[in-house]
Chain A
């Protein structure tokens, strides 16, 4: 039973008769602790209950549809006539845009003066989507409001937009599970995020997908769209680098991996046994985050409740391809443009690509979102001006500039590669290069801005210099006469605020210890950071290291997961003792590879461990196998204490177990030596004292 619970990600093989709801229960047991941390304390509601938006157009009645019993899926005859549907996830489930997204959801951030979600919806509509489900979580009401006002909710819109909101979505997986629960999709659908900017014509890909599905029923479940862009391409962001191995003829994805933290790219041999004699390894692809999914995708997410992200899904499917028989294919576009604004760097590049008309016909002067007063003129060197722009004497708009309506620019300014929103006031002698200035911003004289984002209502006082990659979030005031170093992030929200609030939006469990170090909450603006008249708190720059660590852990996780599944397919009647041993030794191996990751890794695996290590005998087994590993590598003895400590803290191991193991007669000299390790002795002593004190309490 233990085994099958753990391998719930592959439930259908091990226990096909088990009902789904029971799987959910199992899941709750296994991942109970994780679940708890993610939920709000007061979130007692059922997960599946969520607010369905009121019908937005007379054309559809969402509430009615949700209530209907599920239609028979995959009715061949219908499939042709079914209108194309799309699932738009208007939430990123990460915090890469923090602190900007504290005030505004990412989908609504302006990109070339138009909200990002409008680009996505325009793409969907132009590609022939007739029904779109927008799933919102963070600041759902704002998105709903925005959409209700937009052209998508007018009766004439060819694309019917339904907004579905719930506070309980934690990941893409939750959204798709909800799609399955509500049986929203009837046939193949498009899956996109709310921050995708694209003009790709997917009709060909769609046709290929349909053809594959009609040839081999239910084998190919997903077609991912990629754009060809070699390494070093401007639109590529290193964070999102992926490496793909594909079958040269059938375009089937054989291996998919994020390559960001890897030095060496590893392809297991079994992917080359597919019978083909031509494979391609591609590092020149940009994931557009547009995928054509069949309804099974939603079902698969339901069956495998541990799939959270698309990455989980793809890797899970590829690893289990032999068992589940599901395949993923790909479509590569050369001419189209498709990118996801996944971080600020991408925001910069996608904005400038839009201004440079790479997303044609989606251009600033097209006013595709049909917003009133947004029409602008397009002149040489990609200079766009909306109505009511005034430009002072001697000011120059060099190239790739977009200026919003009623913005006033002073004299002798130099502006290049810049987007300025509506109703801004910009003083004299201002230099702007690659600046993204949103609405109602005041910039005084003699200001220099380089590659920075300035949000709504910011005031930049006289003589301020913003160096590269600065972010001034909403309502911040800076200056006068201050130079902000590279990568400064200022916000009206205090960085520590989020500790008080329950940041339930974000799945990424930042177990950062560093945050808590300065508990002294300086609620006073620091003039050294924002200038004498400034208002705002400095955020620690979203250091790359954090993300790297995350990603690496992810990779390692994937690796272990992979090995495990292999291990299991070999024999799933495995004894529990072996499994525990295997787990421990694997983990220990990784411990050596990167000592600093062990903590987060252990935490991730704690539920699994707990599940395995239950009886006192299991604890001893676990300890014994750990000891075995450590005995082999003397140099790492010091780390043993750390591992023991964290396992103790995570309640995987108990005092009795550790004490028993320690006092157990050791047979060899070496293990005796190990037990004489200074750190270990201290730890044992500490344990003993703790025990005694607890006994005294009783």
Chain B
């Protein structure tokens, strides 16, 4: 076994609390499959037979009960649970399972959806005997309006600066704009070794890392490192150029010595321009594969979640309408939509560019466009739903008209009373003990007037709702 796969699936999804309020991130449905299926499938496709899954109790339970997942994933899952409350970082988690790690590892995050040829990353790792190789991709611009987000993303967002050498493979520098107030500083010795450095911004870290076994040993010795992305990777990248490096103490194994000899005797070199030995004698090397094309999403924000839902169905040749779903002939389901198992779709309903999850019921004369309907949702007659996300087990009352809304799980939109139309052009979220309701840009909403206590107008474009 060359590589052991480790899947990190214990993250809480803190950047999309609206969705993960009731459903843990790994189980969020994307294209009617739980999110965790995608990295598992990625690993299975390239031939992994076993994977260590680090996750929470809740997810473990779901994994063991989900029949569909069981039939889809043939790999042996070695599930390791960690306590949710302990707030473990990814590096902590690696430390936690160090007993199980025998070889170099491939760490994948559970929110990665990509069609990358994984061997590209692993080949870099093999070819250069690298300490770290990772995957990055061009950042996707999410053009669609996202429920619950005010306007566009702020321009002043902190960018990641990634420095690679002229081949675009060797990772030389990595920092976030936030840490660079003083400007970029490079030692001249680095520039001498890599005289042409490409600095790229606008890259997305896919959180997929090949790591040497020795790095795990390093983690065991250095307990202060808690996160792979936040601390370990920047540390390794920096350490490439420092003279002393404790982790990579002279590996005097026979294999290593032979490799060393082979390199000395070979006329191969990783660089041009000067006469020094390959890698300038450095023992520690970090590489990155940057995807120029193809798909790569990290489903860690609402925008990415919606985008992924839109794109993913095209990738897998599942039938758009699950055989067990009941769809009447007089309804209209676009070919760009998918309908999950055990759904019921009634007459005169039209569904376009939308995903409908398992066991959802959609009544007559409903129009759904550009929306994501999760599992067990009931939508009553005459609703018009556009660009919205409706979470598990929500009930949408009769005649609701919603645009760019996010309805929390278990939420019930009451049908009674007159159609009260509330418009709201900026995102707003309310939390009460039992309700999670989200009103988003351009909400046209039907409400039970009794529910609505007051409407607070802050400005012309800003309306807040308060609930008792």
- A256 — which chain B residues lie within 8 A by C-beta? none
Stretch in B272-280, B297-305, B341-349 touching the partner = B272-280
Structural contact, A278 and B188, CB atoms closer than 8 A: no
Structural contact, B196 and A283, CB atoms closer than 8 A: yes
Of all chain B residues, the one with the shortest Cβ separation from A243 is B191
Q: Is B187 an interface residue (CB 8 A)?
A: yes
Q: Is B329 an interface residue (CB 8 A)?
A: no
**How distant is the Cα of A282 from the Cα of B163 in the complex, in angstroms?**
12
- A266 — which chain B residues lie within 8 A by C-beta? 182-185
Residue in contact with A281 in the complex, picked from B181, B187, B197, B272, CB distance below 8 Å: B197
Stretch in A64-72, A230-238, A527-535 touching the partner = A230-238
Of all chain A residues, the one with the shortest Cβ separation from B186 is A265
* B180 CB to nearest A CB, Å: 6
Contacts A232-B273, A232-B275, A284-B273 given; does A263 touch B188 at CB 8 Å: yes
**How distant is the Cα of A282 from the Cα of B197 in the complex, in angstroms?**
6
**How distant is the Cα of A50 from the Cα of B275 in the complex, in angstroms?**
51
Q: Is A41 an interface residue (CB 8 A)?
A: no
Residue-by-residue, is A261-284 near B (CB-CB < 8 Å gives 1, otherwise 0)?
Answer: 011111111001000011111111
Contacts A282-B196, A283-B195 given; does A272 touch B161 at CB 8 Å: yes
- B192 — which chain A residues lie within 8 A by C-beta? 231-232, 283
Q: Is A259 an interface residue (CB 8 A)?
A: yes
Structural contact, A233 and B273, CB atoms closer than 8 A: yes
**How distant is the Cα of A284 from the Cα of B181 in the complex, in angstroms?**
26
Within 8 A of B (CB), among A129-185: none
Within 8 A of A (CB), among B160-184: 161, 163, 177, 180-184
Within 8 A of A (CB), among B45-77: none
Q: Is B411 an interface residue (CB 8 A)?
A: no
- A230 — which chain B residues lie within 8 A by C-beta? 195, 272-274
Of all chain B residues, the one with the shortest Cβ separation from A228 is B196
- B184 — which chain A residues lie within 8 A by C-beta? 266-267, 269, 272, 281
Interface size class for chain A?
20 to 34
* B319 CB to nearest A CB, Å: 40
Residue in contact with A278 in the complex, picked from B181, B182, B186, B200, CB distance below 8 Å: B200
- B201 — which chain A residues lie within 8 A by C-beta? 272, 277-279
Of all chain B residues, the one with the shortest Cβ separation from A265 is B186
Q: Is B311 an interface residue (CB 8 A)?
A: no
- B199 — which chain A residues lie within 8 A by C-beta? 272, 278-281
Within 8 A of A (CB), among B140-169: 159, 161, 163
- A243 — which chain B residues lie within 8 A by C-beta? 191
Within 8 A of A (CB), among B244-288: 272-275
Structural contact, B185 and A284, CB atoms closer than 8 A: no
Of all chain B residues, the one with the shortest Cβ separation from A276 is B201
Q: Is A373 an interface residue (CB 8 A)?
A: no
Q: Is B202 an interface residue (CB 8 A)?
A: yes
Question: Interface residues of B: mostly helix, strand, loop or mixed?
Answer: mixed
Contacts A266-B183, A269-B180, A269-B181 given; does A284 touch B196 at CB 8 Å: yes
Structural contact, B188 and A281, CB atoms closer than 8 A: no
Structural contact, A264 and B198, CB atoms closer than 8 A: no
* B280 CB to nearest A CB, Å: 12
- A248 — which chain B residues lie within 8 A by C-beta? 198
- B177 — which chain A residues lie within 8 A by C-beta? 269
- B185 — which chain A residues lie within 8 A by C-beta? 264-267
**How distant is the Cα of A231 from the Cα of B280 in the complex, in angstroms?**
13
Structural contact, A263 and B187, CB atoms closer than 8 A: yes
* B204 CB to nearest A CB, Å: 12
Residue in contact with A259 in the complex, picked from B180, B188, B272, CB distance below 8 Å: B188
Within 8 A of B (CB), among A278-296: 278-284
**How distant is the Cα of A231 from the Cα of B159 in the complex, in angstroms?**
30
Residue in contact with B188 in the complex, picked from A233, A264, A267, CB distance below 8 Å: A264
* A244 CB to nearest B CB, Å: 10
- B161 — which chain A residues lie within 8 A by C-beta? 272
Structural contact, A280 and B198, CB atoms closer than 8 A: yes
- A232 — which chain B residues lie within 8 A by C-beta? 192, 273-275
**How distant is the Cα of A546 from the Cα of B192 in the complex, in angstroms?**
24
* A196 CB to nearest B CB, Å: 23
**How distant is the Cα of A280 from the Cα of B199 in the complex, in angstroms?**
6
**How distant is the Cα of A138 from the Cα of B177 in the complex, in angstroms?**
50
- A265 — which chain B residues lie within 8 A by C-beta? 185-188, 191
- B187 — which chain A residues lie within 8 A by C-beta? 263-265
* A10 CB to nearest B CB, Å: 22
**How distant is the Cα of A230 from the Cα of B191 in the complex, in angstroms?**
10
Residue-by-residue, is B382-409 near A (CB-CB < 8 Å gives 1, otherwise 0)?
Answer: 0000000000000000000000000000
* B181 CB to nearest A CB, Å: 7
**How distant is the Cα of A535 from the Cα of B185 in the complex, in angstroms?**
52
Residue in contact with B191 in the complex, picked from A268, A269, A272, A281, CB distance below 8 Å: A281
* B272 CB to nearest A CB, Å: 7
* A649 CB to nearest B CB, Å: 36
Of all chain B residues, the one with the shortest Cβ separation from A277 is B202
Of all chain A residues, the one with the shortest Cβ separation from B138 is A277
Within 8 A of A (CB), among B179-226: 180-188, 191-192, 195-202
* A447 CB to nearest B CB, Å: 33
**How distant is the Cα of A605 from the Cα of B198 in the complex, in angstroms?**
37
**How distant is the Cα of A282 from the Cα of B165 in the complex, in angstroms?**
10
- A268 — which chain B residues lie within 8 A by C-beta? 183
**How distant is the Cα of A63 from the Cα of B192 in the complex, in angstroms?**
50
- B273 — which chain A residues lie within 8 A by C-beta? 230-233, 284
* A242 CB to nearest B CB, Å: 11
Residue in contact with B186 in the complex, picked from A233, A264, A269, A277, CB distance below 8 Å: A264
- B275 — which chain A residues lie within 8 A by C-beta? 232
- A267 — which chain B residues lie within 8 A by C-beta? 183-186
**How distant is the Cα of A322 from the Cα of B159 in the complex, in angstroms?**
21
Of all chain A residues, the one with the shortest Cβ separation from B177 is A269
**How distant is the Cα of A265 from the Cα of B275 in the complex, in angstroms?**
24
Structural contact, A231 and B186, CB atoms closer than 8 A: no
* A688 CB to nearest B CB, Å: 46
Of all chain B residues, the one with the shortest Cβ separation from A248 is B198
Of all chain B residues, the one with the shortest Cβ separation from A267 is B184
**How distant is the Cα of A262 from the Cα of B180 in the complex, in angstroms?**
20
**How distant is the Cα of A51 from the Cα of B274 in the complex, in angstroms?**
49
Structural contact, A269 and B195, CB atoms closer than 8 A: no
Structural contact, A281 and B186, CB atoms closer than 8 A: yes
**How distant is the Cα of A644 from the Cα of B52 in the complex, in angstroms?**
70
Structural contact, A269 and B188, CB atoms closer than 8 A: no
- B196 — which chain A residues lie within 8 A by C-beta? 280-284
- A282 — which chain B residues lie within 8 A by C-beta? 195-197
* A482 CB to nearest B CB, Å: 37
**Most chain A CB within a 10 A radius of its CB, from B182, B196, B202, B272:** B196
Of all chain A residues, the one with the shortest Cβ separation from B139 is A277
**How distant is the Cα of A283 from the Cα of B197 in the complex, in angstroms?**
8
* 7 A–B contacts, CB within 8 A, in A order: A231-B191, A232-B192, A267-B185, A272-B199, A277-B200, A279-B200, A281-B197
Q: Which 6 A-B pairs have the closest CB atoms?
A: A230-B273, A284-B195, A277-B202, A283-B191, A283-B195, A279-B199
| Further contacts, 6 of them, CB under 8 A, given A267-B184, A272-B199 | A231-B273, A263-B188, A264-B188, A266-B182, A280-B196, A282-B197
A binding-site residues for B, Cβ under 8 Å: 230-233, 243, 248, 259, 262-269, 272, 277-284
